[in-house]
Amino acid sequence: MADIRAFQGKAPSIAEDVWVDPTAVIIGEVELGTGCSIWPQVVIRGDIHHIKIGTNTNIQDGSVVHVTHDSRFNPGGYPTIIGNNVTVGHKVMLHGCTIGDNCLIGMGAVVMDGAVIEPRVVLGAGSLVPGGKVLDGGYLWHGSPVRKVRELNQREQEFLDYLAANYFRLSQQYREE
């Protein structure tokens, strides 16, 4: 059974059809929308701000999702908001950022405080998105620090939709086991 726990009176809210791997850890003010899947060794820690993950979004193996607290250095802090139909690859770090709908966050990417990734972005593996950076939707972004590479073609746009649907199907097979 996954380690799902409250912190300071705030408990995770997890939709009924979500699949959470038994090795995952989910703490605090975290909301998981319908059809989400949380894979092995994922840590989602909404202890000092909130995290919201939309429908049919998958967070893959070894990823960490965290937030930034309110302070004089970061007035209001930064929650982490992840949209619908997002695929977050293996070993990704999402920290106090916003990810729009239908994105692919490549393996090992790091997205920092206050960064915004607009809908329909492919973020290449190993990329670093600095704090406060905004990535325009409809493009492939890559690098450390990240830079706009090119517009996504039709096949890549379709692949974004396929990925989320495929991970939903796979998660339902895991739920049935």
What pLDDT does residue 147 have? Answer: 98
What pLDDT does residue 36 have? Answer: 97
pTM, two decimal places: 0.97
| Domain extent at residue 21 | 3-176
Check whether 1 has a pLDDT greater than 90: no
Q: What would the mean pLDDT of 34-51 be, rounded to a whole number?
A: 98
What pLDDT does residue 39 have? Answer: 98
First to last CA, the chain: 13
* C-beta atoms surrounding 162 within 10 Å: 11
Burial class (CB in 10 A: 0-12, 13-18, 19+), 147: exposed
What pLDDT does residue 47 have? Answer: 97
Q: How many domains does the chain have?
A: 1
CA–CA separation, 16 and 34 (whole Å):
7
Check whether 177 has a pLDDT greater than 90: no
Summarize pLDDT for 91-145 with one digit per residue, the tens: 999 999 999 999 999 999 999 999 999 999 999 999 999 999 999 999 999 999 9
**% of the chain residues with pLDDT over 70:** 100
Half-sphere exposure for 47 (CA within 13 Å, toward CB): 10
Mode of pairing for the β-strands spanning 58-59 and 104-105: unpaired
What pLDDT does residue 111 have? Answer: 98
Domain of residue 141, CATH code: 2.160.10.10
